[in-house]
Every structure is written in structure tokens, then in C-alpha cells.
Amino acid sequence: MHLVTEIVAAPKVYAFDTGFICYFKGWETLRREDMGMLWEHYVLNEIQGKFQDRRILYWRDNRHHEVDFIWKRKGKDTITIECKWSADQFEPSGMQAFRRLYPTGKNYIVAYDIRRPFSRVYKNLTVEFLNLNQLIENLE
């Protein structure tokens, strides 16, 4: 039996200027695989700009499961948010691992290529797929 431990002291650094990120990384031309990381930074910037809430966290355990953003607002269930440039890139193991520890709350995938929202179920995990505007509306 393996004990799953959350990693609570490993910060993740975000920059709020995607142009600076490109400059810092030396990217003169963007490749498709660069877009997901830039999208994650952009989504976080939009959430924080709209809600002025700096308590959005990154989650990871010792088995390398990750969730891009965890948002716990006072008196409300925890929300998980995964950022994907394309909705078909989503793999549920990170959210599933988080929900085994914290079972209640909404689960969102925010992807650039989503026009109309939809939901999918992965075992016992229901995930809502949204674009950025729809995510902001659902967080309000």
C-alpha cells in the first residue's frame, strides 16, 4: 500500500506577461506545445484580475498528480481548474487524485478551443469543459 502525500511547500511561479515569458524562454516563434503553458498563465491572470483573489493554489502530490488551480472561497466548495490549449489534451488522473482527498466541488477544464460548454464523466468524476468567458461566468 502506498501512502499518497500532498506536497505543500513546492511553489510554482507564474508570470503575468506572456510576452515576458516568451522573451525569458528565448521563444521567437511559438510552437503548439508552448501554447498550453502560456494559456495557463493567461487564465490565472484573468481569474485574478476579475476576482482580485490571490488564494488560488496549485496542487501536486508525491505521485506526480497535479491540478493547475485549486480555488477555495470561504463558505464554498473547492473548485478545481485545469487549463488546456485543446480540450482533447485533458487527462483526468490529477483531478481524480485530488477528489479522492477532497470529494466535493466543481471541476472545470478551461480550453481555448471550446465554443459551447459540455460535461464528461470519468468514473465518478464529472468535469465541465468551458472556454475562458464561460469559466469566469461560472466562478461568479
User: DSSP for 68-84?
Assistant: EEEE--TTS--EEEEEE
Q: Does the global pTM surpass 0.85? A: no
For 13-31, write each residue's pLDDT tens digit.
Answer: 555 666 656 666 676 776 7
Average pLDDT score, the chain = 84
More confident residue, 76 or 13: 76
Confidence at residue 33, expressed as pLDDT on a 0 to 100 scale:
73
| Least trusted range by pLDDT, from 32-41, 101-110, 122-131 | 32-41
More confident residue, 107 or 36: 107
DSSP helix, strand, coil percent of the chain (3-state; round to 5): 35, 25, 40
